[in-house]
Amino acid sequence: MELENRAEARMLSLRWPDGTRGDFPYIWLRDNCPGGFHPDTRERTFDLMSVPLDVAPEAVRMDGDVLEVRWAGEAHVSRFDCGWLRAHRPGAGAEDPAAVPPVVWRGAGGAAQIPRAAAGDLLASDAALADWLRRARAWGLSIVEGLSEDPEAGMEVARRIGFLRETNFGKTFQVKSKKRPNNLAYTAEALPLHTDLANQELPPGWQFLHCLTNAATGGGSVFADGVAMAEDLRAEDPGAFDLLSTVSIPFRFHDAGCDIRRRQYVITLDEDGAVREICYNAHLAAIFDMSPEVLQAYYRAYRAFMAKTRDPAYQVTLTLEGGQMAVFDNRRVLHGRAAFDPASGGRHLHGCYVDRGEFDSRLRVLAGGP
Ligand code: OGA
Ligand code: ZN
């Protein structure tokens, strides 16, 4: 391993035998000295303001696989493991077991392509749970099968992942046709493709819909990958894509007990411009309040996305049976259902949410590592 002190650039450079190179600004090295972290909590205890911005080494040397930096102006020596430096070299992007690349899917493969798992395996085995979380993360959608008749069985699987996300509909919610519903889901009507709770400050991440019974005529489920629809829109109609990702729209839910409002972008991009989130719910969209000029253009863009949500080319349809549970990333995959006839038989789903952060945390912990 070669070490070079590039004082003029205020950084150390390391080159590994395989050619990998890392450039480490002095201030970064000082900020990340292993001695600056609490040994138990692993939180940073070092105060960045305790050193000047132009902090610099007095001497640097390699000690086997350890880089030793003696800092000028303070009696402090930092010792860095070179494997750690390589893994964290600035600009390379730290490795993250939860960063599973999305598999973008469309309707052509049908429901057979959806990843599936047996509830018993997920409850009994961490390895099975880890494997399933990775597959579900890639797809944004999975079906869990073989749940017991216990109405809590689906929630038990969700709790294997993390805390349930409580909302104004409760910690868990009963999806069935109700008298005086406060949500279209609690009627027997069709629900066009949507994401849930677009009106929330942070719409819930993963959604779990455990089917307790589905004996009614109708009531089939439909899912579509929001990433596929958004990416196709970007290719076909970049102007529409641009408006949907840069102009926010208001969403609102209100009933006797709450009035929850939030502006959202229909399409949210990550820093690299990749589609990270979809927030689309035509029945929770509030009264658009943009200027008349923006409205004309926005409606065109919004309808272009809406048309994609109606296009069967993106849709996977299936009918959930008792003992099955649909699990999907509510901020990526749109879901809906066909109308059903409540007089023909019961239809009852038990639902809950687990946020993306909890889901990804479980993935990382199960992957092991430091
Ligand atoms: C919901 C919902 C779908 C269904 O509860 O948010 O969309 O199949 N339900 O009833
Ligand atoms: Zn819904």
* Average pLDDT along the chain: 96
Tally of CB atoms within 10 A around 166: 12
DSSP output for 2-54: EEEEEGGGTEEEEE-TTS-EEEEEHHHHHHT-GGGB-TTT--B---GGGS-TT
The residues lining ligand 1, judged by C-beta closer than 6 Å to any ligand atom, are 175, 185, 191, 196, 221, 335, 337, 349, 351
Answer for the pair 140, 102: CB distance below 8 angstroms, yes or no: yes
**pLDDT tens-digit readout, 271-294:** 999 999 999 999 999 999 999 999
**What are the structural domains of the chain?**
2-88 (3.30.2020.30), 107-367 (3.60.130.10)
**pLDDT tens-digit readout, 3-32:** 999 999 999 999 999 999 999 999 999 999
Token pair 């961490």: residue: 126
Long-range CB contact pairs, 253-258, < 8 A, 24+: 253/168, 253/197, 253/199, 253/284, 255/182, 256/182, 257/168, 258/168
pLDDT, residue 280, reads 98
Ligand 1 atom with the smallest distance to the CA of 191 is 7
- For the cut 80, the answer to whether the pLDDT of residue 268 exceeds it is yes
**pLDDT tens-digit readout, 285-320:** 999 999 999 999 999 999 999 999 999 999 999 999
If phi > 0 it is left, if psi is from -120 to 50 it is alpha, else beta; for residue 147 that is beta
pLDDT, residue 1, reads 86
Question: What are the residues whose beta carbons fall under 8 Å from the beta carbon of 364, sequence distance 6 or more?
Answer: 96, 97, 98
Token pair 């070669």: residue: 2
Question: What are the residues whose beta carbons fall under 8 Å from the beta carbon of 175, sequence distance 6 or more?
Answer: 185, 186, 209, 348, 349, 350, 351
pLDDT, residue 366, reads 97
Question: Which of 194, 222, 335 for mutating ligand 1's site (highest number of atoms within 8 Å of CB)?
Answer: 335
CA-nearest residue, atom 9 of ligand 1: 185
Secondary structure (3-state) at 87: helix
Secondary structure (3-state) at 328: strand
pLDDT, residue 94, reads 82
**pLDDT tens-digit readout, 178-214:** 888 888 989 999 999 999 999 999 999 999 999 999 9
**Over pLDDT 70: what percentage of the chain?**
100
Amino acid at 19: G
Secondary structure (3-state) at 215: coil
**pLDDT tens-digit readout, 66-100:** 999 999 999 999 999 999 999 999 999 888 999 99
pLDDT, residue 21, reads 97
Partnered with residue 22 across adjacent β-strands are 14
Distance 27 CA to ligand 2 centre (A): 48
Distance 276 CA to ligand 1 centre (A): 22
pLDDT, residue 369, reads 74
pTM: predicted TM-score of the whole model, two decimal places: 0.94
Task: With cut-offs at 50, 70 and 90, classify the pLDDT of residue 350.
Answer: very high
* CA-only gyration radius of the chain, Å: 25
